[in-house]
């Protein structure tokens, strides 16, 4: 009887320890698969202009998990805004990107910041002007997807980027579904 109790004690500790790990705990996230591009529905939005010309403009990149299983969004996505084979602006992450657990149907948002046209650029145009963005989920080696750029009302829009970098803030879970 004593041997059985000694054998069950470590098993009980293991079961109780795993049960104590919550859904958004990093220990639980380590057990889940990373999100892949094909299971995410992406959206790129140019936000309303604020500030003076030649300053910075903001946008938002979002992705909703449309896959059947939960996944973890680990890191910054790969973002490329280009004009054919011409000039391009690459996304660059700023800050620490923590894993975001995405149950099926939930989403993640990444705020974007980029340099827009000033007086000099308005005359000659910016480095990159595009109505689409190429995105790939973090650590996804299976290729990306090109998505259209929209404004806040859902109409077609263009990124007008006067630099070679689009700054990305750390991913965060979107509120609601």
What is residue 30's predicted lDDT score, i.e. its pLDDT? 53
**Of residues 48 and 69, more confidently modeled:** 69
pTM of this structure: 0.76
d(CA 44, CA 101): 21
d(CA 41, CA 134): 13
Tens of pLDDT, residues 48-60: 876 566 678 899 9
Tens of pLDDT, residues 5-49: 555 555 554 444 444 444 445 555 555 688 999 999 999 999 987
What is residue 132's predicted lDDT score, i.e. its pLDDT? 92
Task: List b or e across 47-79, with b for residues whose CB sees 16 or more CB atoms inside 10 angstroms.
Answer: eeeeeeeeeebbbbbbbbbebeebbbbbbbbbb
Q: Coil, strand, or helix at residue 66?
A: coil
Q: What one-character DSSP code corresponds to residue 37?
A: G
CATH (residue range 34-173) = 2.60.40
**Of residues 121 and 78, more confidently modeled:** 78
> 68 is written with which tokens?
């059947």
> 36 is written with which tokens?
């892949």
Tens of pLDDT, residues 141-159: 888 999 999 999 999 998 8
Predicted confidence (pLDDT) at residue 109 exceeds the cutoff of 60: yes
What mean pLDDT comes out for the span 61-73? 94
> 162 is written with which tokens?
């006067």
What is residue 6's predicted lDDT score, i.e. its pLDDT? 52
Q: Where are the alpha helices (DSSP H) in 32-153?
A: 119-124
Tens of pLDDT, residues 77-94: 999 998 777 788 899 999
Q: Across all residues in the chain, what is the average pLDDT?
A: 81
Q: Coil, strand, or helix at residue 22?
A: coil
């Amino acid at each position: 009887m004593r041997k059985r109790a000694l054998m069950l004690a470590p098993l009980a500790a293991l079961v109780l320890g795993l049960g104590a790990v919550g859904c958004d705990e990093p220990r639980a996230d380590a057990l889940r698969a990373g999100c892949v591009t094909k299971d995410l529905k992406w959206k790129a939005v140019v936000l309303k202009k604020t500030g003076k010309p030649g300053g910075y403009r903001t946008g938002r990149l979002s992705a909703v998990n449309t896959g059947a299983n939960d996944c973890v969004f680990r890191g910054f996505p790969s973002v490329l805004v280009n004009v054919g084979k011409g000039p391009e602006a690459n996304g660059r992450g700023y800050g620490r990107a923590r894993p975001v657990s995405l149950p099926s149907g939930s989403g993640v948002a990444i705020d974007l910041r980029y340099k827009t046209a000033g007086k000099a650029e308005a005359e000659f145009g910016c480095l990159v002007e595009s109505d689409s963005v190429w995105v790939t989920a973090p650590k996804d080696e299976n290729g990306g997807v090109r998505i259209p750029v929209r404004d806040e009302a859902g109409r077609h829009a263009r990124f007008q980027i006067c630099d070679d970098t689009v700054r990305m803030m750390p991913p965060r879970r979107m509120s609601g579904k």
